[in-house]
Structure 1
Amino acid sequence: MRFVLGAAAAAAGYRLAAFDSIGSTNDEALVRARAGDPGRLWVVTAHQWKGRGRRGRTWQTPVGNLGASLLLVGPVQIAAAASLGFVAGLALSDALSRIAPRLSTATALDGAEAPGGTRFELKWPNDVLAGGAKLAGIMLESEALPGGVTAIVIGIGVNVAASPVDVPYPATSLADLGIEADAGAVFAALSDAWVVRHAQWDGGRGLAAVRADWLDRAAGLGGSVAVRVGERIVRGTFETLNEDGCLVVATEAGERISIAAGEVHFGTVASLGTTS
């Protein structure tokens, strides 16, 4: 598998470290940050065996799928950095739409109806869906470094050639969707799309525009939602994201509850009261 940066990414000064196989691209990015790497570095592979998702879960990257981590280093406020997950989601959605411009979705696999014409949807906080099934996941990690700077690693895993079968949620891949693209093509498009979306974010100053664009592609917006927050389940309507990126749920009791982290289920699954 050959990986190259997109033309816009190369022109913007991004660098690339590509591996045929690696344990974890996130781990490699953090090791390099600790060793003094200045950032703007993509670490990519088409096979990783120790990838991880949110909440300590394993993220499977069999041969042919894309595992990519972007290392950014600098003085940054963690609150602002947390919104980079939304930036990455938009960039990946942009990239996938370029690769598969004719793809459209209909009814989501968990029972929710996808808006007409939506190609790829963004599921809060950091997943990309196609037809209601998980196509990609994004995870952020950060670490304080000497000199008052912070390393931010944005890990992105895309099911390109295969989708997992032993997971408790619907999953899909580009191959499942009939899209003929390899991990190298997806990465090149992603690296260029990131440049545009990162400029829009502008150190957090463009967060309002990022939020508006994210909501335009949000899965389940305006529909039934159930969010597991620890041992508690919050049910209601997915109303919006607040300015901090929290999911806002309007309950039948008239409450508006802002949720910073949780497991989200939409549509029929949420209405039936099932979140397993």
Structure 2
Amino acid sequence: MSFALGPRASSAGYRLAAFDQIGSTNAEAMLRAREGERGPMWFVTSEQTAGRGRRLRPWIAPRGNLASSILEVLTVTPAVAATLGFAAGLALESALAKLCVEAALRSPGSDNLKFSLKWPNDVLAGRQKLAGILLEAEAVTGGLAVVVGIGTNVVAAPTDTPTPATSLRSLGIDVGAEELFAALSDGWAEFRAIWDGGRGFREIRRLWLERAAGLGQAVAIKSGDEAIEGTFDTIDEQGCMIVRTASGELVPITAGDVYFGSAASAGAT
């Protein structure tokens, strides 16, 4: 089976560049943008050898996992473009939920799995990380080149992540990277249309909060040597996490490693 766009993505005018192996789909997408590609275009592989996540952490996709990046050139500010990451999380969660229902027909019980969205850029299965999202942007002729990378553990998961990781195979979900990508591309077309250049972020925010991991729970955010503890209250209109401290202060968080529940105290140390 080879990579192909889903029917909704195809009819919406998305294009696809698929690779047997590549260093980084995000790097390839941004290189194409610098060379004049304006998208919307997907870059996808089932084996990525030099990918990266947030804070320059490596994100390697062994053969059978899914590394995918969507490139669009937009006329929005970087702050507005950053909110596209929430649409990406919704697109992947929607694709996974759809595939779980289909997988249940082949393997009863797999439809009981629940996925959630961990601020700012993870998709969880239970308490384990299943996917990560990395958004990068660069000014080019005609606007802002925005690349949203989505890496999903299909057949294998890393062992050295801050949040314990898992894979679809470990969860008993029998799907391939190609099948997942088709569903993801359709999910992206749906939620990208809702986002609508940032004008629909209020709805994206509402949908994201319905699926948010740790909402209302104890949380610690660590950034460098600093740590903030409190309760995960909401996300604001810019996509910042809002933490309610013990004193009742509402603190907006723009970046950091997030720890929930019993892991919050450990993460803050």
TM-score band by shorter chain is: over 0.9
> Separation in 2 of the partners of 1:73 and 1:88?
16
Structure-2 residue corresponding to 1:21: 21
Query: In structure 2, what is the Cα distance between the partners aligned to 1:166 and 1:256?
Result: 32
RMSD across aligned positions (CA): 1.2
Q: Which runs of 5+ in 2 are unaligned?
A: 102-109
Whether 1:245 aligns to 2:239 is yes
TM-score by structure 1 length? 0.92
Q: Residue type of the partner of 1:156?
A: I
Q: Which residue of 1 aligns with 2:44?
A: 44
Give, as a single letter, the amino acid of the residue that structure 1 aligns with 2:256: G
Give 1 or 2: higher strand fraction.
2
1:108 is matched with none
Asked whether 1:143 is paired with 2:151, we answer no
Which range is displaced more, 128-137 or 29-38?
29-38
Q: Structure 2: which amino acid aligns with 1:23?
A: G
Structure 2 counterpart of 1:160? 154
Match of 2:111?
A: 103
Q: Please, which of 153, 168, 188 is the counterpart of residue 174 of structure 1?
A: 168
Aligned to 2:210: 216
Give the conservation status (yes or no) of the 8 Å contact 2:221–2:267: no
SS of 1:174 mapped into structure 2:
coil
Distance in 2 separating the partners of 1:69 and 1:180: 23
Range with greater deviation from structure 2 (227-236 or 170-179): 227-236
Secondary structure of 1:234 counterpart:
strand
* 1:127-155 CA distance string (max 9 Å, x none): 000011000000000111124x1110000
Unaligned runs of 5+ in 1: 106-118
In the TM superposition, 1:50-61 aligns within 5 A as: 50-61=50-61
Cα distance in 1 between the residues matched to 2:267 and 2:180? 34
**C-alpha distance in 1, partners of 2:24/2:111?**
30
Identity in percent: 55
SS of the residue 1:135 aligns to? strand
* TM-score with structure 2 setting the length: 0.94
- Greater helix fraction, Structure 1 or Structure 2: 2
How many residues get paired? 261
Displacement of 1:179:
0.1
Q: Which structure 1 residue ranges, 4+ long, deviate > 3 Å from structure 2?
A: 102-105, 272-276
- Structure-1 separation of matches of 2:248 and 2:22: 49
Aligned to 1:8: 8
Aligned residue for 2:138, secondary structure, equals strand
Q: Partners of 1:232 and 1:166 in 2: how far apart?
A: 22
Counterpart pick for 2:263 among 260, 265, 269? 269
* 2: CA distance, partners of 1:166 / 1:205: 38
Instruction: Return the alpha-carbon distance in structure 1 between the equivalents of residues 180 and 267 of structure 2.
Output: 34
- 1:166-208 deviation per Cα after TM superposition (whole angstroms, max 9, x unaligned): 3332100000100000000000000001111011111111111
